[in-house]
Amino acid sequence: MPDTLNPTAGHVRLGSNAGQPMSRRDGIAKVTGAATYAADNRPDGLLYAVYAGAGIARGRVISLDVEAAKAHPGVFEVMTPDNRPPLALDPDEKHHFFAWRTEALQNDSVRYAGQPIALVIAETLEAATEGARLLAPTYDEQPARIGFDGGEAYDPPAVGIGGNPTFEKGDAEAAEAASAKVVETKIATPMQYHNAMEPHAIVAQWDGDRLTIDTPNQAIVMARGGFAAYFGIPPENVTLRSPYLGGGFGSKAILVGPQLLCILAAKLTGRPVKLTLRRDQMYGPVQHRGATRQTVTLGTDGDNRLTMIKHHAVATTSSFDDFIEGAANASQNTYAAPVLQSSHGAVRQDTGTPGPMRAPGEATGSAALEVAMDRMAEEAGMDPLDFRLLNYAETDPASGKEYSSKNLRECYAEGAKRFGWAGRPLAPGMMKDEFGRLKGWGMGTAMFPAPMFHAQARAVLKADGTALVETAGADMGQGAWTALAQIAADGVGLHADKVEFRSGTSDQPDGGVAGGSGHTATAGSALFAAGSDAVAKLAEIAMKDPDSPLFGADNAGVEARDGRLVRLDDESRSDSYADILARAGLSEVEGSGTGARNPADAEARAMFSHGAVFAEVLVDPDLFQIRVTRLVGAFAAGRIINPKLAASQLNGGMIWGVGFALHEEGIHDPRTGRPVNGDLAGYHVPVNADVPSVETLLIDEEDRFVNALGVKGVGEMGISGTVGAIANAVWHATGTRVTSFPIHISALL
C-alpha cells in the first residue's frame, strides 16, 4: 500500500482507528438524556430571563410598563436600555470580521419584528414569561420594508464573509455574442431559517470579573474572545462550555444579541441567569438565509461546450448589516467554461441580519446553476449527465489551477449506476408509476470548497498506557466527538478505547470553527500532530535509555503500534509506553500540534469536495403533489475518517436539499414585517415520510495536498447538488421548469 493511503507523521500512522465505521461515542448519552446541553445547567441561585420581542418591524419603543412587570410575583428585575450595564464594545460597530452588528438594548430603536426590547429576570421561567407579557410596549411605528420590492437596493461591499461581490474572467458580452446557443434562467429562493432542534440557550454566571457561560457555539475559543471583548475582560477570564450542540447549521457560529443580554442580566442581578430562546424567537435575532433572485446565463458553441457562465444574484439582508448570500460564486468552480462572470446585488429589509446557513452561497447558487445546466442539456438534446461530462472541469475554471484531487467522474458513474439512470427518456412526461403518477428523474452536481482553518491540540501520554487528547472542537450532532477522537487515537498510536478525548470547552486548545465543512480537516490535523509530537518525545526517551529494547534505534526506525513502540529493523524488539515512562520516572509526556494548510499547497491547488446527486420524484397528475421517492448521492471527499458518520452527514445534507426544494420558506408579512410562519408547524422541514429512500455512496479519493491526513469535508456539499436534482426531476416528470423554491404545487398547475 502506498504511504499516502496511510499518512504518517513521525512515528505514528493514520488508519487504525480512522477509517472505521464507529458509532457515535456520545450517542447513548444523547438519546438517554444524560448529555448536558446548555439549557440543562442549573447553578444554585439561578434566575430565568425572558426577553420581550418588538411587535413592530421598524420604529421606536415609546413606553414599557416596567412597573407592572416588576410588580408581578417572582419578577426580580427588568432590564431596559435605561439600566442595562455598559458594554466595552458598541454592538452597532463591526469590530471583527466574524462579528455581526447586534442588538443588546443599546437604545430604543426597533430594526425588525421580534427584536429584544427588554429583558425580564425572575425566580421562575413562568414569572419571567408573564412579566415580559405585562410590559405592554407602545411604539412609534414606521412602515416595514420587506422583500425585494419593498426594500432598498444597494451594491454590497462584500459577499459571504469578506468575499468579492464580483468576479470576471474573460469577456462575457463577447462570449455571449459569439455563442451558438444562449439560455437565460431565472430562479428565486426564499428566506430560510436554520431551525436547529436546540434553540439558542445560555446560562451565564459572574464571579468578580470572571465569567462562565454555558452556550452552544461552533467556534468556542473565538467566541470566548468575542464575549471577553464585549465585557472588557481578558479572554482567559471567560470559560465557555459547549460540550453538545443540538444542531447549528451556521446559526451558532457567531455571537448573537440574546447571549449578551443574558450575560448583562447576570451582571445586573449578581446571580446566575438562564435565557433559552423560544422557537418563535429563532426567527429574528439568530440569523437566517437571505432570499435570492438569480439569473444564470449559459452559452454554448456548436459542439454544446460551454462558452460562458454569467451569474447575477441579488440577496436580501437587514437594514443595519451586510451579510450577503454569495450565490453567484457557485458558478465559478463547477463547469469548464472559459468565460465567467459573477455579480451580486443586495436589498435591505426590516428583518434580522442573515448569516451563514448550510452551504452559504453554494446551496442557493448551485440550485440555480443546476437548473440552468439542465435547460441547456435540453436545448442540446443531450442527456443531462452526458452534457455535464462534456463540460467537465479538468482544472478549476475560475483560477485555472490543478485540483488537489477530483474524483467527480467516478461519482457521476457510480451514482448513475446505483440509481439506474441509464435509459432515462430525454423528453419530460414519459414515465409513470403503477398508480399513474408522473415520474421524473433529475440530477445535479454537488460541490463545496475544502477549506482548512487554524486549530491547536494537546496530547498527553500517561503512565498507565492511556492518553488524554484534547481540542476545543464542536460536535453539532455531526459526530465530531467521534471522528476527531479516531484521528486523535491514531495520533497517539492507541486504540480509541484507551484515549480520553476531550472537546467542547474553552480551556482546551483552540479547536477552530466547526463550519465551512472544514472541522475534521483542521482540528483533526492538529490532533494528529499533537499525538505525533508526544509519541516522538517518548521515542526519544526510549532510544536514549540503555534498558530499552529501542536503545540506539534511530528516530525513523521506530513506529507506534497500539501502545508500543516497535523497531522497524527488528520487529521483535519493542517497548510499551507504560514501561518507557516508568523507567524514566515520568508520569506523563505531553505533545502539542497545530492544524493549518501548507500555504504553498493552498496557493498551488484548487481544493473542493465533489459529488453527484440523482433524484426521483413522483407527481400526482391531478393534485400536483410532489414526492421525492429516491435520492442517490455519490461523493468524493478525500479520506473518509468514519464512513458511517460521513454517510450520515451526507444523507442529512441531501435531506436539507429536500427541505430547500420542497418545504422551507420563511415568510414575513409585508405589511407588518412579522414572521408569518415562525414555528415548526408553519415552517416546514422534511420528516421521515418525505425521505423514503436516501442513499450515500462514498467514492475513494486520495488527496496529497489538502492536508497531511488527506481529509476534505462532507458537512455541506450534500445540499448543493440535491436542490437542482429535485427541480430537474420535477421538470422531467411534468415538463414544467422550476423558477422558484420551494416548489409550490401552484407552480405546476
The least CB distance from residue 469 to ligand MOS, in Å, is 24
User: For the sheet containing 109-110, what is the strand order?
Assistant: 109-110, 59-63, 138-141
Candidate ranges 309-317, 352-360, 378-386, 447-455; the one touching ligand MOS (CB under 6 A): 352-360
Q: Which is nearer to ligand MOS, 87 or 313 (by Cβ)?
A: 313
- Burial (CB < 10 A; 0-12, 13-18, 19+), residue 572, is exposed
Q: Residue with CB nearest ligand MOS? A: 250
Site for ligand MOS contains 267 (CB under 6 A): no
**Per-residue contact track with ligand MOS, 464 to 483, x per CB under 6 A?**
--------------------
Q: Which is nearer to ligand MOS, 199 or 299 (by Cβ)?
A: 199
CA atoms of 251 and 506, how far apart (whole Å) = 19
Rg of the chain taking only CA atoms, in angstroms: 27
Which cell is 173 given? Answer: 458580452
**Per-residue contact track with ligand MOS, 420 to 439, x per CB under 6 A?**
--------------------
List residues bridging with 501 in a β-sheet: 469
Site for ligand MOS contains 713 (CB under 6 A): no
Burial 272-281 (b: 16+ CB within 10 A, else e): bbbbbbeeeb
**Per-residue contact track with ligand MOS, 202 to 241, x per CB under 6 A?**
----------------x-----------------------
The least CB distance from residue 368 to ligand MOS, in Å, is 19
The beta-carbon contacts of 319-322 under 8 Å, at least 24 apart in sequence, are: 319/58, 319/111, 319/112, 319/145, 319/152, 319/348, 319/349, 319/350, 320/92, 320/101, 320/111, 320/353, 321/94, 321/100, 321/101, 321/353, 322/156, 322/157, 322/158, 322/346
**Per-residue contact track with ligand MOS, 504 to 533, x per CB under 6 A?**
-----------xx-----------------
What 3-state class would DSSP assign to 334? coil
CA atoms of 277 and 114, how far apart (whole Å) = 11
Site for ligand MOS contains 253 (CB under 6 A): yes
**Alpha-carbon distances, residue 308 vs 172, 188, 331 (angstroms):** 7, 21, 10
* 8 A C-beta contact, residue 507 and residue 523: no
Candidate ranges 146-154, 355-363, 587-595, 601-609; the one touching ligand MOS (CB under 6 A): 355-363
Q: Which is nearer to ligand MOS, 125 or 161 (by Cβ)?
A: 161
Residue 281 DSSP class: G
The least CB distance from residue 346 to ligand MOS, in Å, is 19
Pick the binder of ligand MOS from 360, 491, 666, 686 (CB under 6 A): 360
Q: Report helix angle 480-492 to 519-543, nearest 10.
A: 20
> Apex CA 445: angle with CA 443 and CA 450, to 5°?
155
The least CB distance from residue 428 to ligand MOS, in Å, is 34
Candidate ranges 122-130, 182-190, 357-365, 444-452; the one touching ligand MOS (CB under 6 A): 357-365
Question: Which of 236, 243, 242, 239 lies closest to 211 in space, CA to CA?
Answer: 239
CA atoms of 554 and 550, how far apart (whole Å) = 9
Total residues interacting with ligand MOS, rule: CB under 6 A: 11
Which cell is 130 given? Answer: 408573564
Candidate ranges 248-256, 414-422, 449-457, 477-485; the one touching ligand MOS (CB under 6 A): 248-256
Name the amino acid, one letter, at 50.
Answer: V
Q: Which is nearer to ligand MOS, 176 or 325 (by Cβ)?
A: 325
List residues bridging with 445 in a β-sheet: 612
716 counts as catalytic: yes
Pick the binder of ligand MOS from 250, 659, 673, 675 (CB under 6 A): 250
The least CB distance from residue 648 to ligand MOS, in Å, is 17
The least CB distance from residue 716 to ligand MOS, in Å, is 6
CA atoms of 194 and 205, how far apart (whole Å) = 28
Residues 475, 481, 487, 488: is their CA dihedral positive or negative? positive
The least CB distance from residue 323 to ligand MOS, in Å, is 11
Pick the binder of ligand MOS from 111, 200, 293, 358 (CB under 6 A): 358
The least CB distance from residue 517 to ligand MOS, in Å, is 7
Q: Which is nearer to ligand MOS, 685 or 747 (by Cβ)?
A: 685
Q: Which is nearer to ligand MOS, 121 or 254 (by Cβ)?
A: 254
Residues noted as catalytic = 716
Contacts to ligand MOS by CB under 6 A: 218, 248-250, 253, 356-358, 360, 515-516
